[in-house]
């Protein structure tokens, strides 16, 4: 009886898990990428070489503009009602939320009425936004900025600023002279990115 249990354990531990791994790796990966491509087709105002991966969602896509070579990672949510503009060569990691509109809490109902207050979100060129970042309506992020993982961006970010945390603390600044030189020489991110 003990040998039969060992054979069944071996079967489930090795063979079934092998098939489940490759099912997830190849089959589900293709479904997730197809979802990203299908959603990206809804955005008409986009440049060349734009990629969205996985279960990303774009609401009011007619108000979203994407520059050239933009990358959008798994699980991003862009609410474009108030207008979202993302500049060339900008990379959004996974699970990023960008809102360009919010409920009107000054209306005639509690806690808010059915109206929206639209405020555009403008993201510059060559910006890198880390995983889990939330961007609120009305924010402008300057060229070359880096937003650290998990940050809540509720006020403007200057060119080249490196921002982290829920308090949006500036910890450093990029060399924007070098950034502009790279931009002029078209030294953009072009290698195969694992999330592209």
Which residues are catalytically annotated?
103
Burial class for 92, CB neighbours closer than 10 Å (0-12, 13-18, 19+): buried
C-alpha dist (Å) from residue 17 to 3, 26, 27, 105, 123:
20, 14, 15, 51, 43
HSE-CB for 74 with a 13 A CA cutoff:
9
Residue 28: how many CA atoms within 13 Å on its side-chain side? Answer: 9
Dihedral sign for Cα atoms in the order 187, 92, 36, 100: negative
Supply the DSSP string of 62-86, one letter for each residue. GGEEE-TT-EE-TT-EEE-TT-EEE
Opening angle at CA 133, ends 53 and 191, nearest 5: 45
Nearest to 69 by CA among 85, 53, 46: 46
| Phi, psi dihedrals of residue 171, rounded to the nearest 5° | -105, -20
């Amino acid at each position: 009886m003990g040998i039969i249990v060992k054979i069944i354990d071996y079967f489930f531990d090795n063979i079934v898990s092998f098939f489940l791994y490759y099912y997830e790796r190849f089959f589900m990966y293709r479904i997730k990428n197809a979802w990203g491509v299908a959603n990206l087709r809804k955005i008409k105002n986009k440049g060349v070489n734009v990629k969205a991966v996985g279960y990303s969602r774009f609401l009011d896509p007619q108000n979203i503009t994407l520059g050239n070579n933009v990358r959008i990672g798994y699980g991003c949510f862009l609410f474009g009602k108030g207008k979202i503009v993302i500049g060339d060569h900008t990379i959004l990691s996974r699970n990023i939320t960008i809102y360009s509109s919010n409920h009107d809490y000054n209306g005639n109902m509690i806690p808010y009425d059915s109206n929206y207050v639209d405020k555009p979100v403008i993201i510059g060129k060559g910006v890198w936004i880390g995983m889990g970042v939330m961007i609120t309506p009305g924010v402008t992020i300057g060229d070359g900025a880096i937003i650290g993982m998990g940050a809540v961006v509720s006020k403007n970010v200057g060119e080249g600023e490196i921002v982290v945390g829920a308090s949006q603390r500036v910890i450093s600044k990029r060399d924007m002279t070098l950034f502009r030189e790279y931009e002029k020489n078209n030294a953009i991110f072009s290698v195969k990115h694992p999330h592209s």
